[in-house]
Amino acid sequence: MGSIAVCPGSFDPVTNGHLDIIKRGSKVFETVYVAVLNNAVKNPLFTVEERVELLKEVTKSIPNVKVESHSGLLMEYAKSKQAHTILRGLRAVSDFEYEMQITSANRVLEKNIETLFMMTNNQYSFLSSSIVKELAKYGGDVSELVPPIVREAMLEKFSL
């Protein structure tokens, strides 16, 4: 049995911090499914389809990464992929509280799927999609925070 992980998120937009976790996860697991989820609480800049396409483009050089979208429960998606691990990135202690709640709820739904937390590299510890969107919206340079194709897509969205 190969090791399969699901790396979920809204990825609106995908940042270099996200890519750090995906790339490092691809070295640990045989297959990593990047699941683009639609978070109804957030006001997305990109459609789910656009986020999937951007992620596919920036991960195309990683052969064991597959990008898909999912609109239901994460645990159902993970079971459908025969995954035994959810891969999540942690930036700071503030992330841990939220992630612990989500993990506890997921464990109620599926006891056989574990969550693995991977600490982000220090250079990305401050980075979030929300910060990137805010910077880009007001013309800030996000070239060190996101892949070039994502930067271009953001410039187009904000017509800068």
CA atoms within 13 A on the CB side of 145: 20
At 150, give phi and psi (nearest 5°): -70, -40
Q: What angle do CA 26, 32, 38 make, to 5 degrees?
A: 130
Write out the catalytic residue numbers.
18, 42, 91, 129
The Cα-based distances of 43 to 27, 38, 39, 94, 120 in angstroms read 32, 10, 8, 21, 25
- Give CA–CA dist 35/77, Å, rounded: 8
CA atoms within 13 A on the CB side of 118: 24
